[in-house]
Amino acid sequence: MWSVNLQHFLDASGSTATTPPEARELADHFGAIVAAVTLDFTGKLVEIDAVTCRNTKVANCNGKIVACLGDELTSVDWYCDKCDDSGLITGWEDTLWDCTEEALADEMPSESVHGSDFTGSG
């Protein structure tokens, strides 16, 4: 089981620009899981078609990653639907992969509903 803190892949400015290539590849893999889950932000399981399993112990595993927000909304729990690869991602808040603001903005009613034209009187 993986236990990953995305902060460990970032420099002081929150970038992976100075991260070694192999570590950046891992960061992008786990970051893509976080992005998919936080963009959904429902707390439900998300099947992530764009992220495939990286389990090197299982030859040619082509499983999909399934993930969700953890119980306290501070972690992302994930697993492969074909093999036993799984993990927990922390330290994702306010990183370049955190899409919660975008997800929450999509949930807000449009500005016209809250504008001065809305009186409810028809």
Q: Where are the beta strands (DSSP E) in 1-122?
A: 2-5, 46-52, 64-69, 76-80, 86-90
Please measure the distance between the N-terminal and C-terminal CA atoms of the chain and give it in whole angstroms.
Answer: 57
Residue 107 has a pLDDT of: 61
For tokens 């976080």, the residue is 34
Q: Which amino acid is at 88?
A: L
Q: Counting every residue, how long is the chain?
A: 122
Does residue 114 surpass a pLDDT of 50?
no
Average pLDDT for the chain? 85
106 within 8 A of 38, measured Cβ to Cβ: no
Q: List the one residue out of 108, 100, 92 whose CA is nearest residue 40.
A: 100
The predicted model scores a pTM of: 0.82
Q: pLDDT at position 115, please?
A: 37
Q: Which pLDDT does position 111 carry in this prediction?
A: 47
Token pair recorded at residue 28: 């992008």
Answer yes or no: is pLDDT of 121 > 80: no
Radius of gyration of the chain (CA): 18
Confidence (pLDDT) at 108: 54
pLDDT given at position 4: 97
